[in-house]
Amino acid sequence: MRIIAGKYRGKKLKSPLTDKIRPTADRAREAVFNILNARLNQNWPDYALLEIFAGTGAFGLEALSRGVKKICQIDIDTRTAAANAALFPDEKARIKLLRADAAKLGTSVEKFNLLFMDAPYNQGLSEKALASVANGGWLEPGALCLVEIEKKEQIKIPENYEVLEERIYGLAKILFMEFKG
């Protein structure tokens, strides 16, 4: 795994410490960021990213390399994400790690306008986490939300999200959604 573009292009990341973490493939991550570049008009400093089920933290660190103002990474096991965040000592003030159950998040004092979520496939966790994020006030209205699921997985999208498009990359399907608030 490596950072694909931006300030830290080519920087290698640590592999998962456990087989329970399934990182988004570099190719899929690159394709998603190409779409984001077009959607966000490359105004990365205007965005604060919330990464749920962070795993290795690669997605958030890629966004950080491209210039987002801050990232908050949440996972029930933050060891690998913490090890990778430590590779970016100059960015410590822009990276926040929270060890928490994404289905039971409390109320947030911070708001985010970009969300990436990559739950373990076919366990119903994406629906629970989307509801938890919405109920806890984690997102600004209009936030762009990307949810990675297994390509045949069916999820019930909570009513405060609108699906804008879907893309399939190998075994993964990425849902691009807008948070309506």
Lay out the sheet containing 48-52: strands in order across: 95-99, 70-75, 48-52, 112-118, 139-150, 172-179, 161-169
pLDDT of residue 53: 96
Q: Is residue 140 part of a domain?
A: yes
Chunk the chain into consecutive blocks of 10 residues (it has 181) and report each block's average pLDDT, rounded to whole numbers. 90 76 66 86 89 95 96 96 96 97 94 96 94 96 95 94 93 94 84
Which neighbouring-strand residues pair with 118? 148
pLDDT of residue 118: 93
pLDDT of residue 26: 64
Residue (of 111, 109, 13) closest to 61 by Cα position: 13
User: Please, are residues 9 and 66 in contact by the beta-carbon 8 Å criterion?
Assistant: no
Cα dihedral sign for 130, 54, 19, 76?
A: negative
pLDDT of residue 105: 96
Q: Is residue 9 part of a domain?
A: no
Q: Is residue 138 part of a domain?
A: yes
pTM of the model: 0.92
Kindly report the CATH number assigned to the domain that includes residue 148.
3.40.50.150
pLDDT of residue 15: 81
pLDDT of residue 19: 63
Q: Is residue 165 part of a domain?
A: yes
Range of the structural domain that residue 127 is part of: 26-179
User: Please, are residues 115 and 1 in contact by the beta-carbon 8 Å criterion?
Assistant: no
pLDDT of residue 1: 83
pLDDT of residue 114: 97
The C-alpha atoms of residue 93 and residue 6 are separated, in whole angstroms, by 18
Give residues with Cβ within 8 angstroms of 81, minimum separation 6. 54, 55, 56, 57, 60, 73, 75, 97
CA 49 to chain centre: 7
User: Please, are residues 136 and 106 in contact by the beta-carbon 8 Å criterion?
Assistant: yes
The C-alpha atoms of residue 6 and residue 24 are separated, in whole angstroms, by 18
Q: Is residue 14 part of a domain?
A: no
Q: Is residue 1 part of a domain?
A: no
Give me the number of domains the chain comprises: 1
Residue 135 identity: N
pLDDT of residue 171: 87
